[in-house]
């Protein structure tokens, strides 16, 4: 039963990844500049969040 659920979860994950990839590609083709700007903003926010998170972990350990 657990193995069946694992396969199901992987299939859902791949389907979502494919769907979002397709939507992203369509957005990139129809509106390239805003899509690239939003992607860059998202990446910057993600990196800042990761740095803040790792800094917080270091503070907790120290």
pLDDT digits (tens, 9 = 90+) for 3-27: 888 899 999 999 999 999 999 999 9
Q: What's the pLDDT score for residue 4?
A: 82
Q: What's the pLDDT score for residue 60?
A: 56
- Between CA 42 and CA 38 the distance in angstroms is 6
Half-sphere exposure (CA, 13 Å, Cβ side) for 15?
Answer: 6
Q: What's the pLDDT score for residue 59?
A: 57
- Computed over every residue of the chain, the mean pLDDT equals 88
**pTM of the shown model:** 0.58
Contact 27, 35 (CB under 8 A): yes
- The confidence band for 62, taking pLDDT boundaries of 50, 70 and 90, is very low
């Amino acid at each position: 039963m657990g193995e069946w659920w694992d396969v199901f979860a992987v299939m859902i994950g791949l389907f979502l990844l494919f769907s979002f990839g397709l939507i992203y590609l369509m957005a990139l083709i129809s509106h390239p500049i805003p899509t690239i700007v939003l992607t860059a903003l998202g990446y910057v926010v993600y990196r800042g969040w990761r740095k803040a998170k790792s800094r917080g972990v270091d503070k907790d350990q120290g």
